[in-house]
Homo-oligomer: A and B are copies of this chain.
Amino acid sequence: MKLRQIGELKLLQEVRKRFSSTDSSIMVGIGDDAAVIAPQEKILVTTDMMNEGIHFDLSFTSPFHLGFKLVSVNVSDIFAMGGKPKYLFLNIAMKKDADEQIFWKMYEGISGAMDIYGLNLAGGDLCAAENDMVLSATIIGTGDKIVTRRGASVGDKIYVTGTVGGSACGLEILKRLTAGARDSVKSLGSEVWSKEILTSQPLNLSTSQVIDWNIAEPLIKRHLMPVARDSSNFVNYATSMIDISDGLFLDLCRVCDESNVGARVYLDRIPVSEETTKAAEIMGLDPLHLATSGGEDYELLFTAPPTSPIPSLLKDIPPLYPPLSKGGTGGVKITCIGEIIEKDRVVIDKTGRESALKTEGYQHFGTSG
C-alpha cells in the first residue's frame, strides 16, 4: 500500500501502538504536543540527520539497515559522552508514493536497534517529502560522569575500542559488487546476521575478483548497521572521549583541538581486523589508510592517565552485541595507540620514523581550502 492511501494519522496510530513504552520516567509520550520526561541525572542530547543521496543510497542500503544505523549513530554520540541512551525522537520524511513496506522495514531496523540499546520512542514527526527521504533522530540520555573532548592532558594514553577501517572497507566492497551480488546483500534485510548467510556463495566483485562471505560479511555489516560501543566500563577513567565517525585521525585532531594538546600515534598499534586486511589486499587498498581516514566505524577514542587501570581492564570488558570478532572471545578489545604530547601531532611508523599526522576525513559541502 502507498503511504498516500494510508494517511499520516493511521500511520501514527500504528507507530504509537507498536512502540508503546513502559518506562515510568516518560510521563507523556507519543501523541501530545511534546513529550514529558522526568530523569534524575544530567541530560545529554544529540541529534543527527540522514539524507537520501548524501548519507545513504537505497541501491546500497536496505530500509532495515537505514533505520538501524540512524539509531546507532545517535546512540554512539551519547556513549561518547559517557551517558546512557534513554529516549528516542524521530522525524521521518518520505515521498507520498513510497511503499508502506519501506516504512515498516525501516521501523524494524529502528526497533531492533532500540532493543539493543534499551531505548524508548518518546515522540517525533512524520511528514511528506518532495524528493528525497530524510531521517532525523534526537536521542536523550542521562549520565553522571560526563566526558567531553576537552579533558586530555599531556602524558595521557590514547585508546581506541575494537578495530577501525572496517566500515570504510565494507563500503568499498559494496561499491565494487556486481549488480546481482549487491541485490542479494540488500535483500538480506533483517536477516543480515542470520547464520544461513554465512554459508552463501562468495561475493563477486565487478572487477572479477572474489571475496569470501566470511570476510565480506562482517565488513558490510559494519558499514550498513554499525553497533555503537557502550563506554560504561571505562567512563570513570576517561579524561576525554569522542566517537570515530569521520575518521580516526580527524576525530583525534578534534580532541587535540578542544583539549589544546598534541598527540603521538604509533601506526603499527592501530587495530585493524583480519577481515579488513584481507579484503583491502584483494581490492588493492591500503588497510592503514582505511583505518586512519575511513569514517563511520563508531568505535570510541578516549584518553586516560597512564596510571589508570585501563590496561588491566582490557580483558574484562564484557561482550557487546554483536561480538565484534567472530573468532575472538566475544569481548571488545581496547588498544593503546599512542599518547598525548604538548603540541605536535605526529605518527611513528614501524621503523620508528616520525612524521606529521595528516588528517583526511569527510566534510559536508566540501572545501576549497
Contacts of A39 in B (CB 8 A): 43
Q: Which of A100-126 contact B (CB under 8 A)?
A: 122-126
Task: Please choose the segment from A6-14, A162-170, A350-358 that sits at the chain B interface, where 4 or more of its residues have CB less than 8 A away.
Answer: A6-14
Q: In this assembly, does A185 line the interface, its C-beta being within 8 Å of a C-beta of chain B? A: no
Select A47's contact among B5, B38, B123, B243, beta carbons within 8 Å.
Answer: B123
Q: Are B134 and A93 in contact (CB under 8 A)?
A: yes
- Which 8 A-B residue pairings sit nearest by Cβ, starting from the closest? A53-B130, A7-B367, A34-B46, A33-B80, A8-B364, A33-B77, A49-B91, A131-B131
Q: Are B54 and A129 in contact (CB under 8 A)?
A: yes
Interface range on chain A (Cβ under 8 Å from partner): 35 or more
Q: Are B136 and A91 in contact (CB under 8 A)?
A: yes
Max count, chain B CB within 10 A of own CB: residue among A4, A11, A35? A35
Contacts of A365 in B (CB 8 A): 3-4, 6-8, 11, 96, 128
Q: Are A148 and B3 in contact (CB under 8 A)?
A: no
**Copies of this chain in the oligomer:** 2
Contacts of A146 in B (CB 8 A): 27-28, 36
A residues neighboring B (CB under 8 Å): 3-11, 27-28, 31-39, 42-49, 51-55, 76-78, 80-81, 83, 87, 89, 91, 93, 96, 122-132, 134, 136, 138, 140-141, 143, 146, 148-150, 241-243, 258, 363-369
Shortest C-beta distance, A39 to chain B (Å), equals 7
Shortest C-beta distance, A200 to chain B (Å), equals 33
Contacts of A258 in B (CB 8 A): 31-32
A366 and B76 alpha carbons, distance in the complex (Å):
36
Shortest C-beta distance, A181 to chain B (Å), equals 25
Q: Are B134 and A46 in contact (CB under 8 A)?
A: no
Contacts of A48 in B (CB 8 A): 91, 125
A148 and B7 alpha carbons, distance in the complex (Å):
24
Asked, given contacts A47-B91, A81-B28, whether A366 binds B4 with beta carbons under 8 Å apart, the answer is yes
Q: Are B369 and A123 in contact (CB under 8 A)?
A: no
Q: Are A81 and B33 in contact (CB under 8 A)?
A: yes
